[in-house]
Amino acid sequence: MGKASYALELKGITKAFGTKVVANQDVDLQVKYGEILAILGENGSGKTTLMNMVSGIYYPDKGQIFVDGKEVTIKSPKDAFDFRIGMIHQHFKLVDVFSAAENIVLGIDDGQKYNLKKAKQRIREITDKYGFQIDLDKKIYAMSVSEKQTVEIIKVLYRGADILILDEPTAVLTPQETQKLFAVLRNMKKDNKTVIIITHKLHEVLEISDRVAILRKGKNAGMVNTDEANEQILTEAMVGEQVDLNIERKEPKDPQTRLVVKRLNVKNRQGENALTDINFSVSSGEIFGIAGISGSGQKELLESIAGLQRCEKGSSILYTDSDEVEQQLVGKTPREIRKLGIAMSFVPEDRLGMGLVGNMDITDNMMLRSYKNGKSEFLDRKKPRELAETIINDLEVVTPSTSTPVRRLSGGNVQKVLVGREIALEPRVLMVAYPVRGLDINSSYMIYNLLNEQKEKGVSIIFVGEDLDVLIALCDRIMVINSGEITGILDGRTAKKDEIGLLMTKTNGGADNEAK
Amino acid sequence: MKQNKAKKSEPLIRITKRTDVSLKLGIIVRVIAILIALLVCGIVTKVFTSDDPISILKTIVHGAFGEGRMLVTLHDVALLLCVSLAVTPAFRMKFWNIGAEGQVLMGALATAMCMFFLGGKVPDALLIVIMIVFSIVTACVWAIIPAFFKAHWGTNETLFTLMMNYVAIQLIEYFLKIADKSGSNVVGPDLLSHGWFPQIFHTDYVLNIVIVAIITVLLHIYLTKSKHGYELLVVGESENTARYIGINVKKVIIRTMALSGAICGIAGLLIVGGASHSIDSNIAGGRGFSAIMVSWLAKFNPIVMVLTSLLLVFLSRGADEVSSKFGLNADFSQILTGIILFFIIGCEFFIHYQVHFRSSKKAEKEDK
C-alpha cells in the first residue's frame, strides 16, 4: 500500500435524483495521502451527495471510485469502512441513552466477545493519540453538541478509518470548539490520515486545509492550493461571479423603545430553567442580535415574545408602538397578540416543522398567516397565490410552480418563501432565528438586505445567529446568552469575535471542559 | 486485505425514489397490477380447484353487476363510502380513528332505540327527525370521547377508539336483551316497525344512495375549500405550525372528530332506518375497518373514494358469488380478494419508486 499516488480518486462521478435534479455531473477529485482537503461549494452544489457516494449512502449512476489506486465498488457504509473510509455526518447518529464508549463500539462485529473494558482501553489509545477530550462514560443525552461530534469522530477512527470525511463539522461549534477540532484534525494529518472536510465557510477553509476543491452546481469548479487562495478568489469560484462580501450597516433612524423584556423566566418541560431573569429592550429601527451556543434559550426567548411559551409569574414583555400605549404580551396567545393590532413576524429555526408545512404547496403556505382573514367560512386562495407569485419573482425563488410542495424546494428557497411571507405581513417586530442557515452566499446576502430594508422602515429586528462574523457585521447590538442567562450585551460596532466566544461559554465554563 | 474480497460489481438491483409521479404512469402501473392480479387469480384457481378460471372471473363480475344486483351493489358501495367519508377528516388530521365500527354501531343503536321506544307514540315524520338528531348526537359523543382525551392528555387514539368498539358492541347486546325477551340476537322489523324511511321507486336503497352522494360532495368541499378543512390539515401535518399560526389545536381535534362521529352516526341511521329496519351487534359488518382501507387507497380524497369503495364492494360481492356457485369454501373467495388487493396496494411501490437493474452492458465488461 502507499504505492498509489492518491488515497482516494473519483473519476467522472454522476448522480441524478429523478429526471430533473442532477446533483453531481462528471466530477473528478483526487485526494492525497495525509492531506486535509476542503470541499467548498454553496448549498445544493452537490458536496454532500458526492461524499455520500464515497461513504456508501448513495450509489453513483456513472463514474469510478479508486481507493489506493484500485477501483472499488462501495454499496453500503459497511463497504466504505472495509476500504477504511468513514464519514461524520451533519446529523449525528448516536443512541442517546448509551454512553460514549457504548456508542463507539456499537455495531462492530469483530467475532469477539463484547468487552467494554478492553474496548475502552483501545478508545483511550485513540483519544490520547489525537488529543480528544471526552468522558467515555458520559451518556449522549448529557452531552453538548461538540462532545457528540467528538464521539462521532472517535467512532469512525475506532473502526480503523484512514480517510475521514466531515460534513460541515463547524456549523454547530463555537469559535473555541472549532479551534479544538482543528487541532485534532492537524494531529490526524500528522498521523498520515486523510481528512476531507465539507464546508462553505471560507475563513475555515483558509485556516485548516492544504488544498481546496470547489464544486458549483454539481460540477468541478476548480482545485487550488490553499496558500495561493484568498476569500475573494474562493467566493468567485464558488458562486461563479463577483460578489460583494460587505454587509452594510446604517445607524438606526430615530430609535424608540418598542419591546421591553423584564425578569423573563421560562421553565422547560423538565421543570428546569430555560431562561433566567432576562432583561433587555429593543428599539425601533435596530437589528438586535442574539448570540449563544445552540440550545442556550434562544428558542424559548423568541417563542415567549411570540406568545408560544408559558412564562413564569412576574415575567413581563411590554410592547409600545408610536401610540405610546404599553401592551403586555405575557400570557397571551399568538392570536390574541394579533388581535391587539401588534404586527409581529417570526421566522422560526424549524422552517418546515413550524414556519411552513412541507407537504403543502407554496400558495397554501402563504395562507398560514392570513387564512383567517375575512368572515367567510371558505378559503380565499386568490390573494395567497398572488403573494406567492410576487415572492417567487422578487426573491428569485426557484420552483416549478406555486403548487409545488415546499418540501421539494431547496433549503434556500424554503427560507425565501418563509421570510417573504413574514415580511409581507408588514411587521413592527421581526424575529428571525438562524435565517441564513444552509443558504448559499447570494441568498444569505439577499436575506441580510431584506433585514436592512425592514430596519430602515423602523421595524425592530431580533436576529438569532450562529455566524459571529455576520452578527458583528450586521447587528447594532449583540446580546450573548448562555444556559438561559444573559452574559453580556455588546455594541455590534465594537464587539470582537473572541469576546463573544468567551461570553458564550462563560458561566458554566463550557460543558466540554468538564470532561476529563 | 479485505479490499480484495469486494470485487468490482454494480449492485444487481437498486431502488430510487421517483421525484415526480405522472398521472399517466400511475394509471398504467395500476392497470398492469390489476391484470397481473387477475392472471394470478386464474392460476391459483386452476391449480387448487381445477375449475375454469375464466368462468370464475365471470362469476365475480356477475356477482357484483349481474341482473338485479346492480342496485344492491350500489347500496353497499354507498354505505361503505359513507363510513369511509366519516373517517377521512380525522385521517387527514393524522388522527388514526379505527373506531368507526363502534361509532356506526352507536348511531345504529340510537336509531333503533328511537324506533323501539317511540315508535307509534309520536307521528312517524317527527320520529324520523328524532332518529336523525339522536343518532348523530350519540355517534358524535362516542367519537368526541377519545378526541377529548387525545387533545388534553395526549392519549393514543388508535387504542382508545379500538377499545370503544367493543364497548359499543356490548351496549347493543344489552339493548337486544331488553328489546327482545326471547333471547334472539337480532331485533327485527317486527319490533322496529315505525320510523322507516320513505321509499323512492319502491325501494329503500335509492334514498340512501342519494344521501351519501350529497354527503360526498359536501365533505369534499369542506375538506378542500373551507377554513376548517385547511386547519385540520395543518394540525395533522404539524402541531407546532398550528400553534405558531394561532390555531387552537385542541378545538380542531375535537371538532374534527365530532364531524367524523356525526357522519358515522348517519351511516348507522341509514343502515337501520333506511335499509334493514333491524339491529344486531354485527350490523356495521366490518365497514368501520374496510373504510380505513378505502380512505387510504383514495389518499383521503372523497371523490376517489367512490371508486375505491366500489372496488372493495365489487370484490367482496363477487367473491361471495363464486363461493356459493362453485360450491367452494367461503375462504377461497377471500383468497381471491386478497390476491387482488395485494397487487393493487403493492403496485403503489412501483409508482413511487423506480427499480434499476444492473445493465447488461456493464455486466459483460466485468466478465472480460
The residues facing A480 across adjacent strands are: A291, A488
Closest CA to A20 of B10, B15, B349, B21: B21
Cross-chain CB nearest to A82 (options B3, B234, B238): B3
- Say yes or no: A152 and A52 in one domain: yes
Average pLDDT of span A202-226 = 90
Q: Is the pLDDT of residue A85 over 80?
A: yes
Residues of chain B positioned with their CB less than 8 A from the CB of A354: 238, 240-241, 244
> What is the tally of structural domains in chain A?
3
B254-289 per-position pLDDT tens digit = 999 999 999 999 999 999 988 888 899 888 888 999
Average pLDDT of span A442-467 = 90
- Could you tell me the residue range of the domain that residue A325 belongs to? 256-343+428-509
**What pLDDT shows up at residue A279?**
93
- Say yes or no: A296 and A167 in one domain: no
Instruction: Give the burial class of A401: count Cβ atoms within 10 A of its Cβ; 0-12 exposed, 13-18 middle, 19 or more buried.
Output: exposed
- How far apart CA A274 and CA A272 sit, in angstroms, is 6
Answer whether residue A421 is part of any domain.
yes
Closest CA to B143 of B14, B302, B16, B264: B264
Q: Average pLDDT of chain A?
A: 87
Q: Do A18 and B20 touch (CB under 8 A)?
A: yes
- Say yes or no: A302 and A391 in one domain: no
- Say yes or no: A329 and A289 in one domain: yes
B314, B333 contact by CB (below 8 A): no
- Say yes or no: A72 and A203 in one domain: yes
What is the amino acid identity at position B232? L
Name the domain boundary from A425, A453, A481.
A425
**How far, in Å, are A18, A357, A364, A420, A429 from residue A367 at the CA level?**
30, 11, 5, 12, 20
Strands, E, within A420-474: which ranges? 429-433, 460-464
Q: Locate cell 438491483: which residue?
A: B13
Answer whether residue A34 is part of any domain.
yes
- Say yes or no: A178 and A53 in one domain: yes
Q: Do B237 and A360 touch (CB under 8 A)?
A: yes
Question: What is the CATH classification number for the domain harbouring A270?
Answer: 3.40.50.300
The residues facing A166 across adjacent strands are: A88, A197
- Say yes or no: A137 and A31 in one domain: yes
Number of CB atoms found within 10 A of residue A178's CB:
20
Answer whether residue A514 is part of any domain.
no
Q: Locate cell 386562495: which residue?
A: A381
Size of interface A-B (CB pairs under 8 A): 92
Sheet with A273-283: strands ordered across: A273-283, A257-267, A316-320, A326-328
Average pLDDT of span A438-446 = 81
A15, A60 contact by CB (below 8 A): yes
B201-238 per-position pLDDT tens digit = 878 889 999 999 999 999 999 999 999 999 999 999 99
Answer whether residue A79 is part of any domain.
yes
- How far apart CA A343 and CA A348 sit, in angstroms, is 16
Q: Locate cell 464521539: which residue?
A: A151
Cell numbers at B68, concatenated: 338485479
Delineate the domains of chain B, giving CATH numbers in brackets. 17-51+331-368 (no CATH), 71-327 (1.10.3470.10)
- Say yes or no: A275 and A202 in one domain: no
Answer whether residue A75 is part of any domain.
yes
Q: Between A74 and B56, where is the model more confident?
A: A74
Q: Do A360 and B233 touch (CB under 8 A)?
A: yes
Residues of chain A positioned with their CB less than 8 A from the CB of B238: 353-354, 357
Cross-chain CB nearest to B244 (options A72, A79, A354): A354
Name the domain boundary from A239, A269, A285.
A239
B237, A358 contact by CB (below 8 A): yes
Tell me the nearest-neighbour CA distance from A484 into chain B, angstroms: 22
Task: Map residue A403 onto helix, strand or coil.
Answer: coil
Cross-chain CB nearest to B227 (options A308, A377, A408): A377
Closest CA to B276 of B85, B144, B160, B112: B112
B271, B139 contact by CB (below 8 A): no
Q: Between B241 and B10, where is the model more confident?
A: B241
Task: Map residue B119 onto helix, strand or coil.
Answer: strand
- How far apart CA B59 and CA B333 sit, in angstroms, is 11
- Say yes or no: A394 and A472 in one domain: no
The residues facing B177 across adjacent strands are: none
- Say yes or no: A15 and A121 in one domain: yes
Q: Do B244 and A18 touch (CB under 8 A)?
A: no
Cα-flanking dihedrals φ and ψ of residue B274, to 5°? Answer: -100, -10
Residues of chain B positioned with their CB less than 8 A from the CB of A379: 225-227, 229-230
Answer whether residue A433 is part of any domain.
yes
Total-model pTM: 0.77
**What pLDDT shows up at residue B326?**
78
Number of CB atoms found within 10 A of residue A154's CB:
24
- Say yes or no: A318 and A369 in one domain: no
Name the domain boundary from A394, A425, A456.
A425
Q: Do A360 and B240 touch (CB under 8 A)?
A: no
Answer whether residue A247 is part of any domain.
no
Closest CA to A497 of A473, A464, A514, A513: A473
Instruction: Determine the distance from the C-alpha atom of residue A467 to the mean position of all C-alpha atoms in its chain, rounded to a whole number.
Output: 9
From A302, which residue of chain B is nearest by alpha-carbon distance? B244
Angle in degrees, 0-180, between the axes of helices A145-158 and A116-130, rounded to the nearest 10: 110
Average pLDDT of span A256-265 = 92
Answer whether residue A57 is part of any domain.
yes
Residues of chain B positioned with their CB less than 8 A from the CB of A20: 19-20
**What pLDDT shows up at residue A286?**
93
Closest CA to A316 of A308, A325, A305: A305
Closest CA to A22 of A6, A48, A45: A45
**What pLDDT shows up at residue B20?**
66
If pLDDT is split at 50, 70 and 90, which confidence band does A509 have? Answer: very low
Number of CB atoms found within 10 A of residue B33's CB:
20
3-state helix, strand, coil in chain A (%, to 5): 35, 25, 40
Q: Do A408 and B9 touch (CB under 8 A)?
A: no
ipTM of the complex: 0.78
- Say yes or no: A410 and A439 in one domain: no
Strands, E, within chain B: which ranges? 13-17, 353-357
If pLDDT is split at 50, 70 and 90, which confidence band does B194 have? Answer: confident
Instruction: Determine the distance from the C-alpha atom of residue B93 to the mean position of all C-alpha atoms in its chain, rounded to a whole number.
Output: 17
